Amino acid sequence: MSTDQAPPYWLLISVLFSNQPLSPSLAMTLHQVAYELHQRGEGAKEVAGDMVSGRVVNLRKDVSFGGIAGPAFEAEIETERGSGVVRFVLTRQGLEMMKQQPAEPPRPKYLN
């Protein structure tokens, strides 16, 4: 795995329910917000991007379905296809892979 690439989205999240199709970029956006919530122990966070807006909620419980387990999240989103609900899990495998990713270097405060 290259250190300058994130793991593929299908290793990071497992979608339990979605009434909208998820593109890879939307799945990665939801993963990023949920991962931040999980790391910080926060309850909810707004999500906004070029093609999506809404809110991701940390359900604060772990779920397990066969070989897939991890913390559960729910997102209420607005996309170009309309509003939707997505329930998903951050996979344990994905969480472990994210821990192995190098931390982003601090961004400069001033750009000259």
Classify residue 66: in a domain, yes or no.
yes
pTM: 0.80
78-92 confidence digits (pLDDT tens): 999 899 999 999 999
Classify residue 109: in a domain, yes or no.
no
The residues pairing with 63 across neighbouring beta strands, listed in sequence order, are 70
Classify residue 108: in a domain, yes or no.
no
- Per the structure, the count of domains in the chain is 1
**Which domain covers residue 46, as residue numbers?**
9-100
Cβ-contact 86, 77 below 8 angstroms: yes
What does the radius of gyration of the chain's CA atoms come to, in whole angstroms?
A: 15
6-62 confidence digits (pLDDT tens): 667 777 889 999 999 888 889 989 999 999 999 999 999 999 888 899 999 999 999
Classify residue 68: in a domain, yes or no.
yes
Classify residue 105: in a domain, yes or no.
no
Burial class (CB in 10 A: 0-12, 13-18, 19+), 12: buried
Classify residue 33: in a domain, yes or no.
yes
